[in-house]
Structure 1
Amino acid sequence: MTQDADVDLFVIGGGVNGAGIARDAAGRGLSVLLCEQGDLASATSSASSKLIHGGLRYLEYLQFRFVRDALIEREILLAAAPHIVWPLRFILPWEKELRPRWMIALGLFLYDRLAPRRRLAGSDWLDLRQRPEGTPLTARLATGFSYSDCAVDDARLVVLNALDARERGAQIETRTRFISAAREDGLWRIGLMSAEGTERTLTARALVNAGGPWASTLMSAISGASAGKALRLVRGGHIVTPKLYEGDHAYILQNPDGRVVFVLPFAQHFSLIGTTEIPFEGNPAEAAISDGEIAYLLGAVSRYFRKPPAPEDIVHSFSGVRPLYDDKAASASAASREFILDLHQPPGEAPLLSVLGGKITTYRRLAEAAIDGLASHLAPPRPEPWTAAAPLPGGDMEDGDFDLFLHRLQESRPWLPAKLALRLARAYGTLVVKILRGARGLSDLGEDFGCGLTRAEIDYLMDKEWASTAEDVLWRRSKLGLVLSPVEAARVQAYMVERAGAQTQEPHSAEPEPPPRD
């Protein structure tokens, strides 16, 4: 008989897949510990294109089931988190030299019908000469198409899953490095190291490797683990510029090489342009966009926009490494975004589940499948899947109506500036009451560090959301790093260090960290 373990499930990796798995498992009554070597969503899961989408272009590769599954998840996430997932209308200008009109029309017809749509409008044909969406585009672009997908605050999606996991009993340990794991007496014996260098061991009945682009590297620290299935690492670069056009819609731009580039509204005042797909080798933490990738993205935009951005207009850039399952596709663009759950369990031994591939849209489905796959070994007290109908923290709004929630927030707190109310509502949803509770005016929220980032918000992020550095607050919990000055950012870091010290928490460096992957 297997002896008692410290936890039922140990999860390596604080990205969206790891956090989603921890949440699902904790909600089924399992004891869970998740460790992350840095901050939550500090790598791939905060360096995405910020989209929840079916993947229109994958229809070209006849991946109908994959697209259908993603479209189903799009609806589930839109209902579960209407504050951090919201509808986004895409404009696809048509160029006859590229994909024929019939092909695009057929693709959109299928996209509208592969899965039920409850909240999103269907596709349409556009006369760009008569529509405001055509105003920023070059004169040669007379017609196009429109369709719906969703935007997402990717880093906050991770944090909200971790929050829900903790509320359901999971332990979430950031700044904690996984050192080793070995099977012993039917359990996993796992070594960990804190940021200060303190080592400890614990036991678990099952181990999940959700290390993202580090998943293959981690296998070398897991005794007795086979190499398993292979990963294909692909670097995706993005640039951010001042807003290129008026409106809340997005553009999807075809390129002569067959790829597409997105231009998305971002952080209220900016446009996000991406992404590239470059094979990657090396340390994912050191991934950075190249000059060639920047030129590629700017070139794509210049084909379509009357006033395209220049290199000097770029205010920020980032690059993330996507860990795709290596299906031997001819190119990174053609490689499948489907996830693979690789289970390794010799007879009588504790199971190891490695997560390969996937995309942010299907993380919930991946997590559900992971716990279903481990259920026979772990025997969760509540075995049935549950996350499809459960809101994420802050998403429990009446009828899932974000606009109504925002209206009532502003109505109840008329002293809250409109732009600040929108930012707080988007980031926290109904959790915003934890920041605003008791405040009768802006001064009650404490010092404003710039652009409405108050002491009350920082305190909440430190106390409830694992934030410990200015980078955590400015580049993941918010995108205020785009608008705060270096002096303001340094003041945020100094305050956080001062507060942590006053509360006798673990000390952190007083030096402000640079923006990630600039």
Structure 2
Amino acid sequence: MHPVTYDLLIVGGGINGAGIARDAAGRGLSVLLVDQDDLAGHTSSASTKLIHGGLRYLEYGEFRLVREALVERERLWRMAPHIIWPLRFVLPQTQSPRPGWMVRLGLFLYDHLGGRDRLPGTETVSLDHSPLGHGLIDPHGTAFVYSDCWVEDSRLVVLNALDAAERGAEIRTRTRLTRARRHGDHWQATIANAAGEHRVKARALVNAAGPWVADVIGRVAGLDSEHGVRLVKGSHIVVPSLYDGAHAFMLQNPDRRIVFAIPYEGRFTLIGTTDEPWHGPPARASIDAEETAYLLATANRYFARQIAATDIIWTYAGIRPLHDDRAGNASAVTRDYAFDLDVDDGRLPILSIFGGKITTYRKLAEHAMRDLKRFFSDMPGEWTADTPLPGGDIPDADFDRFVADLKRERPQLSPPLVYRLARAYGTRARHILGEASTDADLGEDFGAGLTRAELDYLVTTEWARTAENILFRRSKLGLHAPADTATRITAYLNTHPVTAH
């Protein structure tokens, strides 16, 4: 049997790989995306979960990156208003290592650099007279309040992959690229999964392997690159809520590093991130004792409710594959991206991606396709800027009105369930609900409102294969579910074969 030939073979199922797959498939290219694990299985599910310009990057002169990210911020919100929403950030000055005028100047630039439209601008408040100070250990003095957006990061990856698949791309999780070599007029590649090894051919390779980008260039493709990757670990902790309110805090530390405290999953506070150099080969990361102590100390410096390691409900960590700009400390390494386009006699390209941040993934994909266009001369132009992601086709991007309409459609369903499904799936929630009029119609409840109907949807439509995929990437129900939920899901998956993807 002859190998199947694709226009693009994309390595890496994180946000960059999924975004490029979507963009390319929408232009009519044949696409195969492979990932050795789950979609968003590593870095792209371990972010601070913000769609933001990166206020602190102004301090390092990253004006181009910040402007691009700020422009993308509201665009992505319109594309996926179910998984992206506005968030106000309180920046207390009581313990700031930066003078107030400097912070205010940065926020002025932040408000005007990227053409802000729907998000409210910065305001200055007195914490002595504002409820925004409640919960702080020192609720006095001045604070600045500015806007950014929240994103369900791993769902953003899945929705890009889903849109790519619906436009013709093949998405194969748990599939590794083991070797690729130029041969004749194609790349010949070997991919491997539980079913064995398979050979495929491609006109171009896209190396979006994240922390493994250098490994794909060297070991897999047998090439060299002038670009370097700097691996930096970022860790987060989740604790019971430290304060009331839907706002977040940006906390400034004496070492000038920034830590966010963000409302999480209704009853928790998410605290992060750290920036620690990662030495050695990429691997699944976990928080260490020093990082834990750093995040706890930061929270205890600001909040009246003091916490210890025993208060931590959950932790997660990821390795960021940053473009190595030779910065002296990990926090200062650029979050901008760089491409390495390697060609052989002007053909058979491999495009390797270094760095990047989740907010700019769509622009990164456009830039990647722009670099590849000369190899696909009949490829159409850009299209993703105003095209909603699956479930994001909510009228006027008005999520609250959409939820109200969905509740009216299904008056006997429990309102919290309707709200959660709307948040996770947008208009695709109706695919899960089907003809159901009551909660019982959705089948067995595995815990925390995860029904058989939703579980089947995740397996057949969103490439979910394990309890971890479902409880901590497709959702965060693992923080709410009973102890036996994972076991019950695993038993169900073992007795119900996958029927799609």
- After superposition, the Cα gap between the structure-2 partners of 1:255 and 1:413, relative to the gap in structure 1 and judged at 3 Å, is same
CA distance in 2, matches of 1:97, 1:44: 30
Aligned to 2:58: 59
- After superposition, the Cα gap between the structure-2 partners of 1:269 and 1:345, relative to the gap in structure 1 and judged at 3 Å, is same
Mapped contact 1:177–1:193 kept (Cα < 8 A): yes
- After superposition, the Cα gap between the structure-2 partners of 1:389 and 1:122, relative to the gap in structure 1 and judged at 3 Å, is same
CA distance in 1, matches of 2:76, 2:60: 25
Give the match's secondary structure for 1:344.
Answer: strand
Consecutive unaligned residues of structure 1, counting only runs of 5 or more, are 507-518
Query: 1:36-56 deviations in whole A, cap 9, x for unaligned?
Result: 111100000000000000000
CA distance in 1, matches of 2:117, 2:152: 21
CA distance in 1, matches of 2:177, 2:96: 51
Aligned to 1:149: 148
1:294 to 292, 295, 316: 292
Question: Normalising by the residue count of structure 2, what TM-score does the alignment of the two structures yield?
Answer: 0.97
Aligned to 2:358: 360
Deviation at 1:14, TM superposition (A): 0.3
Consecutive unaligned residues of structure 2, counting only runs of 5 or more, are none
Give the match's secondary structure for 1:25.
Answer: helix
Aligned to 2:279: 281
Deviation at 1:81, TM superposition (A): 0.4
CA distance in 2, matches of 1:293, 1:483: 25
Aligned to 1:494: 491
Q: Which runs of 4+ in 1 moved over 6 A?
A: none
Mapped contact 2:78–2:397 kept (Cα < 8 A): yes
Aligned to 2:212: 214
Query: 1:400-440 deviations in whole A, cap 9, x for unaligned?
Result: 11111111111111222222222111110000000001001
Aligned to 1:72: 71
CA distance in 2, matches of 1:96, 1:430: 44
Mapped contact 1:470–1:493 kept (Cα < 8 A): yes
Q: Once structures 1 and 2 are overlaid, which stretch shifts more, 302-311 or 24-33?
A: 302-311
CA distance in 1, matches of 2:176, 2:17: 14
Counterpart amino acid of residue 257 in structure 1: D
Mapped contact 2:322–2:355 kept (Cα < 8 A): yes
Mapped contact 1:180–1:190 kept (Cα < 8 A): yes
Aligned residues: 500
CA distance in 1, matches of 2:324, 2:21: 25
Aligned to 2:123: 124
Deviation at 1:217, TM superposition (A): 1.3
Mapped contact 2:77–2:85 kept (Cα < 8 A): yes
Mapped contact 1:29–1:380 kept (Cα < 8 A): no
Aligned to 2:376: 378
Over aligned residues, Cα RMSD in angstroms?
1.6
2:225 to 224, 227, 238: 227
CA distance in 2, matches of 1:121, 1:97: 23
Query: 1:329-365 deviations in whole A, cap 9, x for unaligned?
Result: 1111111111101100021440000010000000000
Aligned to 1:257: 255
Aligned to 1:397: 394
1:413 is aligned to 2:422: no
Mapped contact 2:448–2:482 kept (Cα < 8 A): no
CA distance in 2, matches of 1:482, 1:359: 26
Question: Normalising by the residue count of structure 1, what TM-score does the alignment of the two structures yield?
Answer: 0.94
- After superposition, the Cα gap between the structure-2 partners of 1:121 and 1:360, relative to the gap in structure 1 and judged at 3 Å, is same
1:475 to 472, 476, 481: 472
Give the match's secondary structure for 1:73.
Answer: helix
Aligned to 2:367: 369
Aligned to 1:202: 200
Aligned to 1:6: 5
1:432 is aligned to 2:429: yes
